[in-house]
Amino acid sequence: MASPITIICLVLIILSNTVPGECGFLPLAPALYVFGDSIVDNGNNNYLITLAKANYRPYGYNFDQSRPTGRFTNGKTVADFIAEYLRLPYPPPYKSLLIKENSVKGYNYASGSCGILPKTGSLQGHCLSLDEQIILFAEMLTTILAPNLHHQLSQHLAESIFLFVVGNNDYLDTYSDSDSDSSESYDPHQFAQSLIQSLSEKLQKLYELGGRKVMVSDIGPLGCVPSVIRRSKTNGTCDENLNKRVIIFNNQLASMLKNLTFTLKGSHFVFIQSHSIIYDTILNPTNYGLSDSKSSCCETGAEVAGTATCIIGLPPCPYPNSHFFWDEVHPTEAVYSMSASRIINGSSPFFPMNLEQLLQA
């Protein structure tokens, strides 16, 4: 007869479609390290002085016990789904170290409103720029991983998965406004190149620190985000001018990652190309099991105060995961689930491999 632990594990596997590490199944990778912005932030901004927070209801409406954790969505993020697939715990937000035990299975450094450029997000308050995130990762190597892993540290880093979702706010906050300094100082190609150069330097720094398996997402069709449409002059349609600017960045990103993989020995920099799929999902939501891709599920006060985040305490729409957008910027858990599935075992569009293949590289 099966033991109670075995029965519990089987139930968990059936219900969540994951294989918990506590049930005796080995993780598929030593750790998952997450970098980026609010798309993957799971609570770092809770510990920062910033207006960009999601630690209140209705955020987390579909998460464990409807608990707001700092995730800018109704449930799990794409990083959470990837962690489940890897049979790893959700990487804890690094800024929560004061209240959490040290871990050698990964951390999340992402910070809502921040981006590649140090100044991005500064109007909201303090967030962790990508520079700061890399510095915190280096600090963690010295204070946590090295004392715990010793001679196994290099192998741990080489086999771990590094996920980057960043650049959205550099366009939304810094370059989507035609009156901004960056918009006046750079043409679209120059601005994209400045971001690519900065990101490349940070990825090379990660390589120097030991990271080898790195997945970097492109930027989605930001011109179709409700908050952008609301303040644009497109009569309720996507701002294709902003979308074109983003595509210029994405094309340069693909070339940069390919070059890094070619020049940095033993590295694998995977390009996650999601722009076209997300764009099609927004234009044709019913093809993807969604009913609404234009309005946010939660009340945001957009018409009155121009805010893009949920109003504290107000109930969301009845069926959040039938919507593409949770608030005026961020997708719902349903969209993140679809995105994670493509990242894990999708046949396209990736360069040069999906996550399943990366684990074997």
Task: Name the active-site residue from 156, 275, 323, 330.
Answer: 330
Instruction: Give CA separation, 260 vs 191, 212, 213, 264, 335, in Å.
Output: 20, 11, 12, 6, 30
Residue in 152, 155, 263 with CA at minimum distance from that of residue 211: 155
Task: Name the active-site residue from 38, 113, 160, 232.
Answer: 38
| Predicted local confidence at residue 81, as pLDDT | 98
Residue range 244-267: mean pLDDT, rounded: 97
Domain with CATH 3.40.50.1110 in the chain: 31-360
Contact in structure between 63 and 194 (CB atoms under 8 Å): no
Superfamily, domain 31-360: SGNH hydrolase (3.40.50.1110)
Is the model's pLDDT at 180 over the cut of 50?
A: no
38 is catalytic: yes
| Predicted local confidence at residue 188, as pLDDT | 93
Residue range 39-56: mean pLDDT, rounded: 97
Task: Name the active-site residue from 80, 173, 218, 327.
Answer: 327
Residue in 1, 83, 78, 97 with CA at minimum distance from that of residue 36: 78
Contact in structure between 209 and 267 (CB atoms under 8 Å): no
Average per-residue pLDDT in the chain?
90
Is the model's pLDDT at 204 over the cut of 80?
A: yes
Is the model's pLDDT at 304 over the cut of 60?
A: no
Percent of the chain clearing pLDDT 90 (strictly above): 81
Residue range 343-360: mean pLDDT, rounded: 88
Per the document, the length of the chain is: 361
Is the model's pLDDT at 150 over the cut of 60?
A: yes
pTM: 0.92
For the segment 78-137, what is each residue's pLDDT rounded down to a tens digit?
A: 999 999 999 999 999 999 976 566 789 999 999 999 999 999 999 999 999 999 999 999
